[in-house]
């Protein structure tokens, strides 16, 4: 055997569903982006901005995915699509 019991099933943490949040992002250079980010259903947008990652995925109106550097962001605000 490979040292793993056939009767032991490792616990996998439950997945928290993600929700689409529409946002308007203003970059430090003045560029304004409108689109959405995905956050866990129990999170707020500010939690995404304050986590330990330096980048976050952003999907623009044309469904193109961008990695946004948090250091380049001046402001993020939710908006209704």
pLDDT per position as a tens digit, 29-73: 999 999 999 999 999 999 999 999 999 999 999 999 999 999 999
- Number of neighbouring beta carbons within 10 Å of residue 30: 7
Q: Is 41 exposed, middle or buried (0-12, 13-18, 19+ CB in 10 A)?
A: exposed
- The structure's pTM equals 0.76
Per-residue confidence band for 11, with pLDDT thresholds at 50, 70 and 90: confident
């Amino acid at each position: 055997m490979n040292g793993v019991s056939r009767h032991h099933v490792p616990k996998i943490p439950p997945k928290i569903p993600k929700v689409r949040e529409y946002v308007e992002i203003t970059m430090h250079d003045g560029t304004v982006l409108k689109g959405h980010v995905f956050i866990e259903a129990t999170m707020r947008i500010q939690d995404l901005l304050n986590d330990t990652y330096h980048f976050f995925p952003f999907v623009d109106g044309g469904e193109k995915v961008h990695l946004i550097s948090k250091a380049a962001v001046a402001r993020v605000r939710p908006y209704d699509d």
